[in-house]
Amino acid sequence: MTQSILRGVGSYLPEKILTNKDLEETIETTDEWIKERTGINQRHVAAQNEYTSDLAVIAAKKALNDAEMSTQDIDLIIVATTTPDYTFPSTATIVQKKLGIKHGAAFDIQAVCSGFIYGMSIADSMLKSGSAKNILLIGAETFSRILDWNDRSTCVLFGDGAGAFILSSDNVSDFGILNTLIRSNGEHRELLYVDGGPSKSEYVGKLRMIGNQVFKHAVKDIASIMKECAESYGVAISDIDWFVPHQANQRILNGVAKRLCLNDEQVISTVSIHANTSAASVPLAMDFAIKDGRIKRGDLIMLEAFGGGFTWGASLLRY
Ligand code: UT7
Protein backbone atom coordinates (compact mmCIF):
# COMPACT_ATOMS: atom_id res chain seq x y z
CA MET A 1 0.00 0.00 0.00
CA THR A 2 1.48 3.37 -0.97
CA GLN A 3 1.66 5.82 1.91
CA SER A 4 3.20 9.30 2.26
CA ILE A 5 5.77 9.05 5.00
CA LEU A 6 7.44 11.94 6.81
CA ARG A 7 11.17 11.38 6.32
CA GLY A 8 12.57 14.66 7.58
CA VAL A 9 11.60 17.89 9.35
CA GLY A 10 13.42 21.22 9.58
CA SER A 11 12.71 24.80 10.51
CA TYR A 12 14.23 28.25 10.68
CA LEU A 13 13.53 31.44 12.60
CA PRO A 14 15.13 34.78 11.73
CA GLU A 15 17.74 35.99 14.20
CA LYS A 16 16.03 39.19 15.28
CA ILE A 17 13.61 38.86 18.20
CA LEU A 18 10.96 41.46 18.91
CA THR A 19 9.62 41.24 22.47
CA ASN A 20 6.36 42.56 23.87
CA LYS A 21 8.45 45.08 25.81
CA ASP A 22 9.92 46.31 22.49
CA LEU A 23 6.38 46.82 21.17
CA GLU A 24 5.47 48.85 24.28
CA GLU A 25 7.92 51.47 22.93
CA THR A 26 6.10 51.93 19.61
CA ILE A 27 2.36 51.29 20.18
CA GLU A 28 -0.14 51.66 22.98
CA THR A 29 0.08 48.17 24.41
CA THR A 30 1.50 46.31 27.39
CA ASP A 31 3.42 43.11 27.85
CA GLU A 32 0.67 42.04 30.30
CA TRP A 33 -2.17 42.57 27.80
CA ILE A 34 -0.40 40.61 25.05
CA LYS A 35 0.56 37.73 27.37
CA GLU A 36 -2.85 37.51 28.99
CA ARG A 37 -4.92 37.69 25.77
CA THR A 38 -2.64 35.67 23.49
CA GLY A 39 0.12 33.88 25.42
CA ILE A 40 2.71 35.55 23.17
CA ASN A 41 5.98 36.81 24.70
CA GLN A 42 8.05 37.41 21.59
CA ARG A 43 8.19 36.92 17.83
CA HIS A 44 11.02 36.66 15.27
CA VAL A 45 11.28 39.23 12.49
CA ALA A 46 13.16 38.82 9.21
CA ALA A 47 16.04 41.19 8.43
CA GLN A 48 15.44 43.78 5.73
CA ASN A 49 17.33 41.80 3.11
CA GLU A 50 15.91 38.43 4.20
CA TYR A 51 12.97 37.17 2.14
CA THR A 52 10.44 34.36 2.47
CA SER A 53 12.49 32.22 0.06
CA ASP A 54 15.60 32.67 2.24
CA LEU A 55 13.80 31.39 5.33
CA ALA A 56 12.33 28.56 3.25
CA VAL A 57 15.71 27.45 1.89
CA ILE A 58 17.29 27.20 5.35
CA ALA A 59 14.34 25.18 6.69
CA ALA A 60 14.49 22.97 3.56
CA LYS A 61 18.20 22.24 3.98
CA LYS A 62 17.65 21.24 7.61
CA ALA A 63 14.76 18.94 6.64
CA LEU A 64 16.88 17.33 3.88
CA ASN A 65 19.66 16.81 6.38
CA ASP A 66 17.21 15.24 8.84
CA ALA A 67 15.93 12.92 6.10
CA GLU A 68 19.52 12.12 5.02
CA MET A 69 18.57 13.06 1.47
CA SER A 70 20.07 15.34 -1.13
CA THR A 71 18.44 18.18 -3.05
CA GLN A 72 18.62 15.99 -6.19
CA ASP A 73 16.23 13.43 -4.61
CA ILE A 74 13.42 16.02 -4.56
CA ASP A 75 11.04 15.94 -7.53
CA LEU A 76 8.42 18.39 -6.30
CA ILE A 77 8.59 21.55 -4.19
CA ILE A 78 5.43 23.03 -2.70
CA VAL A 79 5.64 26.30 -0.78
CA ALA A 80 2.66 27.35 1.30
CA THR A 81 2.89 31.11 1.73
CA THR A 82 0.82 34.29 1.79
CA THR A 83 3.92 36.47 1.73
CA PRO A 84 5.75 35.43 -1.48
CA ASP A 85 8.95 37.23 -2.52
CA TYR A 86 7.17 38.42 -5.69
CA THR A 87 3.65 38.37 -7.10
CA PHE A 88 5.34 36.03 -9.58
CA PRO A 89 7.34 33.85 -10.11
CA SER A 90 6.31 31.55 -7.30
CA THR A 91 8.49 31.41 -4.20
CA ALA A 92 8.73 27.64 -4.82
CA THR A 93 10.61 28.20 -8.10
CA ILE A 94 12.95 30.65 -6.35
CA VAL A 95 13.59 28.02 -3.65
CA GLN A 96 14.17 25.44 -6.42
CA LYS A 97 16.82 27.69 -7.98
CA LYS A 98 18.49 28.45 -4.62
CA LEU A 99 18.68 24.71 -3.88
CA GLY A 100 20.25 24.05 -7.29
CA ILE A 101 17.40 21.80 -8.48
CA LYS A 102 16.64 21.88 -12.22
CA HIS A 103 14.30 18.92 -12.56
CA GLY A 104 10.77 18.18 -11.40
CA ALA A 105 8.26 20.90 -10.57
CA ALA A 106 7.65 23.65 -8.04
CA PHE A 107 4.59 25.70 -7.16
CA ASP A 108 3.09 27.82 -4.38
CA ILE A 109 -0.21 27.38 -2.63
CA GLN A 110 -2.14 30.05 -0.79
CA ALA A 111 -4.51 29.11 1.99
CA VAL A 112 -3.12 31.61 4.52
CA CYS A 113 -2.58 30.02 7.97
CA SER A 114 -4.00 26.68 6.76
CA GLY A 115 -1.56 26.54 3.84
CA PHE A 116 0.61 23.81 5.32
CA ILE A 117 -2.34 21.47 5.98
CA TYR A 118 -3.60 22.16 2.43
CA GLY A 119 -0.06 21.36 1.27
CA MET A 120 -0.13 18.03 3.12
CA SER A 121 -3.37 17.13 1.39
CA ILE A 122 -1.92 17.95 -2.06
CA ALA A 123 1.41 16.24 -1.34
CA ASP A 124 -0.33 13.11 -0.07
CA SER A 125 -2.49 12.89 -3.22
CA MET A 126 0.48 13.41 -5.54
CA LEU A 127 2.61 10.80 -3.77
CA LYS A 128 -0.22 8.27 -3.74
CA SER A 129 -0.99 8.87 -7.44
CA GLY A 130 2.68 8.42 -8.37
CA SER A 131 3.04 12.02 -9.69
CA ALA A 132 5.98 12.53 -7.31
CA LYS A 133 8.26 10.38 -5.16
CA ASN A 134 9.92 12.84 -2.77
CA ILE A 135 8.21 16.14 -1.98
CA LEU A 136 9.70 19.12 -0.20
CA LEU A 137 6.73 20.82 1.47
CA ILE A 138 7.51 24.18 3.05
CA GLY A 139 5.49 26.69 5.04
CA ALA A 140 7.34 30.02 4.96
CA GLU A 141 6.21 33.52 5.84
CA THR A 142 7.36 37.06 6.40
CA PHE A 143 4.09 38.39 7.84
CA SER A 144 6.03 41.32 9.32
CA ARG A 145 5.87 42.79 5.78
CA ILE A 146 2.06 42.86 5.59
CA LEU A 147 1.39 44.12 9.12
CA ASP A 148 0.21 47.62 9.91
CA TRP A 149 2.70 48.35 12.67
CA ASN A 150 0.39 51.10 13.99
CA ASP A 151 -2.53 48.70 14.48
CA ARG A 152 -2.08 47.24 17.96
CA SER A 153 -4.93 44.79 17.46
CA THR A 154 -2.99 42.85 14.81
CA CYS A 155 0.73 43.72 14.80
CA VAL A 156 1.41 42.09 18.16
CA LEU A 157 0.12 38.71 16.98
CA PHE A 158 2.39 37.62 14.14
CA GLY A 159 6.00 36.62 13.48
CA ASP A 160 8.22 35.37 10.65
CA GLY A 161 9.60 31.87 10.14
CA ALA A 162 9.67 28.71 8.04
CA GLY A 163 9.24 24.98 8.49
CA ALA A 164 9.68 22.09 6.05
CA PHE A 165 8.72 18.43 5.69
CA ILE A 166 10.24 15.87 3.34
CA LEU A 167 7.42 13.52 2.36
CA SER A 168 8.15 10.35 0.37
CA SER A 169 6.06 7.53 -1.04
CA ASP A 170 6.66 4.14 0.55
CA ASN A 171 4.98 0.76 0.67
CA VAL A 172 3.86 0.59 4.27
CA SER A 173 0.55 0.49 6.08
CA ASP A 174 -0.77 2.56 8.98
CA PHE A 175 2.24 4.87 8.69
CA GLY A 176 2.82 8.41 7.41
CA ILE A 177 -0.13 10.63 6.45
CA LEU A 178 -3.25 8.67 7.39
CA ASN A 179 -6.04 11.15 6.74
CA THR A 180 -6.18 14.86 5.83
CA LEU A 181 -9.33 16.98 5.66
CA ILE A 182 -9.41 20.53 4.29
CA ARG A 183 -12.31 22.98 4.37
CA SER A 184 -13.10 26.58 3.43
CA ASN A 185 -15.95 29.07 3.67
CA GLY A 186 -15.61 32.40 1.84
CA GLU A 187 -18.48 34.07 3.67
CA HIS A 188 -16.35 35.71 6.36
CA ARG A 189 -13.70 37.41 4.24
CA GLU A 190 -14.21 40.75 5.96
CA LEU A 191 -13.20 39.30 9.36
CA LEU A 192 -9.64 38.49 8.25
CA TYR A 193 -8.05 39.79 5.05
CA VAL A 194 -5.32 41.91 3.49
CA ASP A 195 -6.64 45.21 2.14
CA GLY A 196 -4.69 45.07 -1.12
CA GLY A 197 -3.70 42.78 -3.96
CA PRO A 198 -2.45 42.91 -7.55
CA SER A 199 -5.83 42.78 -9.26
CA LYS A 200 -7.92 44.89 -6.93
CA SER A 201 -5.56 47.61 -5.77
CA GLU A 202 -2.13 47.19 -7.42
CA TYR A 203 -0.78 47.47 -3.86
CA VAL A 204 0.34 44.66 -1.55
CA GLY A 205 -1.88 45.74 1.35
CA LYS A 206 -1.91 45.26 5.11
CA LEU A 207 -3.55 42.63 7.29
CA ARG A 208 -6.92 43.51 8.83
CA MET A 209 -8.76 41.39 11.38
CA ILE A 210 -11.74 41.50 13.69
CA GLY A 211 -9.97 39.19 16.09
CA ASN A 212 -12.68 38.41 18.61
CA GLN A 213 -15.03 37.16 15.86
CA VAL A 214 -12.31 35.10 14.17
CA PHE A 215 -11.57 33.57 17.57
CA LYS A 216 -15.05 32.07 17.93
CA HIS A 217 -15.03 30.50 14.45
CA ALA A 218 -11.51 29.16 15.00
CA VAL A 219 -12.27 27.24 18.22
CA LYS A 220 -15.48 25.72 16.85
CA ASP A 221 -14.19 24.79 13.39
CA ILE A 222 -10.84 23.42 14.59
CA ALA A 223 -12.42 21.19 17.24
CA SER A 224 -14.96 19.86 14.77
CA ILE A 225 -12.48 19.07 11.96
CA MET A 226 -10.09 17.35 14.37
CA LYS A 227 -12.86 15.07 15.59
CA GLU A 228 -14.00 14.35 12.03
CA CYS A 229 -10.43 13.69 10.88
CA ALA A 230 -9.82 11.15 13.66
CA GLU A 231 -13.20 9.44 13.41
CA SER A 232 -13.24 9.17 9.61
CA TYR A 233 -9.94 7.28 9.86
CA GLY A 234 -11.32 5.07 12.61
CA VAL A 235 -9.46 6.32 15.67
CA ALA A 236 -10.67 8.25 18.70
CA ILE A 237 -9.22 11.60 19.76
CA SER A 238 -8.06 9.78 22.92
CA ASP A 239 -5.87 7.44 20.78
CA ILE A 240 -3.71 10.38 19.61
CA ASP A 241 -0.33 10.97 21.26
CA TRP A 242 0.34 14.60 20.26
CA PHE A 243 -1.57 17.57 18.89
CA VAL A 244 0.42 20.04 16.79
CA PRO A 245 -1.86 23.04 16.28
CA HIS A 246 -1.60 26.28 14.36
CA GLN A 247 -0.15 28.80 16.82
CA ALA A 248 -2.49 31.82 16.70
CA ASN A 249 -3.38 32.27 20.35
CA GLN A 250 -2.86 30.17 23.50
CA ARG A 251 -6.51 30.78 24.39
CA ILE A 252 -7.58 29.12 21.10
CA LEU A 253 -5.38 26.12 21.93
CA ASN A 254 -6.94 25.96 25.41
CA GLY A 255 -10.47 26.35 24.03
CA VAL A 256 -10.01 23.48 21.56
CA ALA A 257 -8.36 21.31 24.22
CA LYS A 258 -11.32 21.91 26.54
CA ARG A 259 -13.92 21.05 23.86
CA LEU A 260 -12.15 17.80 22.96
CA CYS A 261 -11.12 16.93 26.55
CA LEU A 262 -7.44 16.89 25.58
CA ASN A 263 -4.68 16.71 28.13
CA ASP A 264 -2.85 20.09 27.96
CA GLU A 265 0.52 18.29 28.06
CA GLN A 266 -0.26 16.63 24.71
CA VAL A 267 -0.76 19.97 22.96
CA ILE A 268 2.47 21.36 21.49
CA SER A 269 2.55 25.11 22.03
CA THR A 270 5.18 27.45 20.62
CA VAL A 271 2.93 30.50 20.51
CA SER A 272 4.79 32.21 23.38
CA ILE A 273 8.11 32.22 21.50
CA HIS A 274 7.11 32.17 17.79
CA ALA A 275 3.72 33.99 17.78
CA ASN A 276 1.57 33.31 14.72
CA THR A 277 3.79 32.49 11.74
CA SER A 278 0.82 31.60 9.52
CA ALA A 279 1.66 28.67 7.17
CA ALA A 280 4.95 28.09 9.00
CA SER A 281 3.33 27.58 12.43
CA VAL A 282 2.59 23.87 12.19
CA PRO A 283 5.94 22.59 10.82
CA LEU A 284 7.80 24.95 13.19
CA ALA A 285 5.91 23.53 16.19
CA MET A 286 6.40 19.96 14.94
CA ASP A 287 10.16 20.47 14.53
CA PHE A 288 10.36 22.08 17.97
CA ALA A 289 8.70 19.09 19.69
CA ILE A 290 10.78 16.53 17.76
CA LYS A 291 14.02 18.32 18.64
CA ASP A 292 13.14 18.59 22.34
CA GLY A 293 12.45 14.84 22.39
CA ARG A 294 8.70 14.86 22.99
CA ILE A 295 7.54 13.59 19.56
CA LYS A 296 9.12 10.26 18.66
CA ARG A 297 9.03 7.94 15.65
CA GLY A 298 5.85 5.85 15.68
CA ASP A 299 3.77 8.44 17.59
CA LEU A 300 0.26 9.24 16.34
CA ILE A 301 -0.04 12.97 15.75
CA MET A 302 -2.77 15.36 14.72
CA LEU A 303 -1.87 18.61 12.97
CA GLU A 304 -4.44 21.36 12.48
CA ALA A 305 -4.80 24.93 11.26
CA PHE A 306 -7.32 27.72 10.75
CA GLY A 307 -6.91 30.97 8.83
CA GLY A 308 -8.09 33.62 6.41
CA GLY A 309 -10.68 32.64 3.84
CA PHE A 310 -11.81 31.12 6.16
CA THR A 311 -9.78 28.01 5.53
CA TRP A 312 -9.11 25.21 7.97
CA GLY A 313 -8.03 21.60 8.10
CA ALA A 314 -6.55 18.71 10.06
CA SER A 315 -4.13 15.93 9.26
CA LEU A 316 -3.58 12.65 11.09
CA LEU A 317 -0.05 11.33 10.83
CA ARG A 318 1.95 8.42 12.18
CA TYR A 319 5.49 9.79 12.41
O1 UT7 B 1 -4.18 32.76 12.25
C2 UT7 B 1 -5.38 33.29 11.83
C3 UT7 B 1 -6.39 33.19 12.86
N4 UT7 B 1 -6.26 34.26 13.79
C5 UT7 B 1 -6.75 34.13 14.97
O6 UT7 B 1 -7.22 33.05 15.25
C7 UT7 B 1 -6.80 35.27 15.91
C8 UT7 B 1 -8.06 35.17 16.72
N9 UT7 B 1 -8.28 36.26 17.66
C10 UT7 B 1 -7.54 36.47 18.76
O11 UT7 B 1 -6.53 35.83 18.96
C12 UT7 B 1 -8.03 37.49 19.76
O13 UT7 B 1 -9.35 37.85 19.44
C14 UT7 B 1 -7.14 38.76 19.83
C15 UT7 B 1 -5.85 38.43 20.54
C16 UT7 B 1 -6.89 39.29 18.45
C17 UT7 B 1 -7.84 39.86 20.65
O18 UT7 B 1 -8.17 39.39 21.96
P19 UT7 B 1 -9.64 39.62 22.54
O20 UT7 B 1 -9.62 39.11 23.93
O21 UT7 B 1 -10.59 38.99 21.58
O22 UT7 B 1 -9.76 41.20 22.60
P23 UT7 B 1 -10.76 42.18 21.82
O24 UT7 B 1 -10.45 42.20 20.36
O25 UT7 B 1 -12.16 41.88 22.22
O26 UT7 B 1 -10.31 43.57 22.42
C27 UT7 B 1 -10.45 43.89 23.80
C28 UT7 B 1 -9.83 45.23 24.08
C29 UT7 B 1 -10.27 46.32 23.12
O30 UT7 B 1 -10.48 47.50 23.85
P31 UT7 B 1 -11.97 48.00 24.27
O32 UT7 B 1 -12.68 48.17 22.96
O33 UT7 B 1 -12.52 46.88 25.09
O34 UT7 B 1 -11.70 49.24 25.01
C35 UT7 B 1 -9.08 46.52 22.20
O36 UT7 B 1 -8.99 47.81 21.69
O37 UT7 B 1 -8.40 45.17 23.95
C38 UT7 B 1 -7.93 46.24 23.13
N39 UT7 B 1 -6.71 45.84 22.46
C40 UT7 B 1 -5.47 46.00 22.98
N41 UT7 B 1 -5.07 46.53 24.15
C42 UT7 B 1 -3.74 46.53 24.40
C43 UT7 B 1 -6.58 45.26 21.25
N44 UT7 B 1 -5.28 45.03 20.99
C45 UT7 B 1 -4.58 45.50 22.05
C46 UT7 B 1 -3.20 45.52 22.36
N47 UT7 B 1 -2.85 46.06 23.54
N48 UT7 B 1 -2.26 45.05 21.53
pLDDT in tens, 55-81: 999 999 999 999 999 999 999 999 999
pLDDT in tens, 195-250: 999 999 999 999 999 999 999 999 999 999 999 999 999 999 999 999 999 999 99
In whole angstroms, what is the distance from residue 265 CA to residue 257 CA? 10
**Of all atoms in ligand 1, which is nearest to the CA of residue 307?**
2
Last residue of a domain, one of 171, 199, 224: 171
Question: Whose CA is closest to 2, among 186, 88, 128?
Answer: 128
- Residue 215 CB less than 6 A away from ligand 1: yes
Pocket test residue of 34, 153, 251 for ligand 1, highest count of atoms within 8 A of CB = 153
Confirm whether 246 is a catalytic residue. Answer: yes
Same domain, 159 and 281: no
Q: What is the pLDDT of residue 118?
A: 99
Contacts for 96 with CB less than 8 Å, ≥ 6 apart = 77, 102, 104, 106
Cβ neighbours of residue 226 under 8 Å, at least 6 residues apart? 237, 243, 256, 260, 302, 304, 314
The residue contributing the CA closest to ligand 1 atom 47 is 29
Question: SS in 3 state form for 42-102?
Answer: EEEECCCCCCHHHHHHHHHHHHHHHHCCCHHHCCEEEEECCCCCCCCCCHHHHHHHHCCCC
Note whether 187 and 310 are same-domain residues.
Answer: yes
Q: What is the pLDDT of residues 83-95, one digit of tens each?
A: 999 999 999 999 9
- Tell me: do 284 and 206 sit in the same domain: yes
In this structure, are 238 and 292 located in the same domain? yes
Q: What is the pLDDT of residues 129-152, one digit of tens each?
A: 999 999 999 999 999 999 999 999
- The Å distance, Cα 153 to ligand 1 centre, comes to 5
Q: Of 136, 171, 206, which one is at a domain's C-terminal end? A: 171
Of the residues 44, 113, 155, 249, only one is catalytic, namely 113
pLDDT digits (tens, 9 = 90+) for 163-181: 999 999 999 999 999 999 9
132 plus 236 within the same structural domain: no
Domain carrying residue 225: 176-318
One domain, residues 226 and 154: no
Q: CATH number of the domain that 41 lies in?
A: 3.40.47.10
Q: What is the mean pLDDT of the chain?
A: 98
pLDDT tens-digit series, residues 263-299: 999 999 999 999 999 999 999 999 999 999 999 999 9
> Cα(299)–Cα(117) distance, rounded to whole angstroms?
18
pLDDT for position 33: 98
Number of separate domains in the chain: 2
Instruction: Please indicate, yes or no, whether residues 164 and 230 belong to a single structural domain of this protein.
Output: no
Q: Which one of 157, 212, 271, 311 would you pick to mutate in the ligand 1 pocket, going by the greatest count of ligand atoms within 8 A of its CB?
A: 212
Residue 123's nearest CA partner among 256, 317, 284, 312 is 317
Q: How many CB atoms lie within 10 A of CB 125?
A: 14
pTM greater than the 0.75 cutoff: yes
40 pLDDT exceeds 90? yes
Pair 310, 208 in one domain: yes
Ligand 1 centroid to residue 181 C-alpha, Å: 29
- For residues 98 and 212, membership in a common domain is answered with no
Specify whether 134 is located in the same domain as 153: yes
**CA neighbor of 203 nearest in space, from 244, 258, 145:** 145
Same domain (yes/no): 209, 119:
no
What is the phi-psi region of residue 166: left when phi exceeds 0, alpha when psi lies from -120 to 50, beta otherwise?
beta
Quote the crossing angle between the two packed helices 281-291 and 115-129, to the nearest 10°. Answer: 80
User: What is the identity of the amino acid at 209?
Assistant: M
Q: Do 162 and 252 reside in the same domain of the chain? A: no
- Whether residue 41 lies in the annotated active site: no
Picking from 248, 258, 237, the residue whose alpha carbon sits closest to that of residue 306 is 248
Q: How far apart (Å, rounded) are the C-alpha atoms in residues 303 and 272?
A: 18
- Return the ∠ at Cα 20 (arms to 14 and 26), rounded to 5°: 100
> End of a domain among 113, 148, 171?
171
pLDDT confidence band for 27 (50 / 70 / 90): very high
Share of the chain above pLDDT 70, in %: 100
Residue 1 in this model has a pLDDT that exceeds 90: no
Instruction: Choose among 87, 83, 93: nearest CA to 161.
Output: 83
Q: Quick check: CB of 12 below 6 Å from ligand 1? A: no
d(CA 123, CA 102): 20
Rounding to the nearest 10 degrees, give the CA dihedral for residues 5, 63, 250, 196.
-100
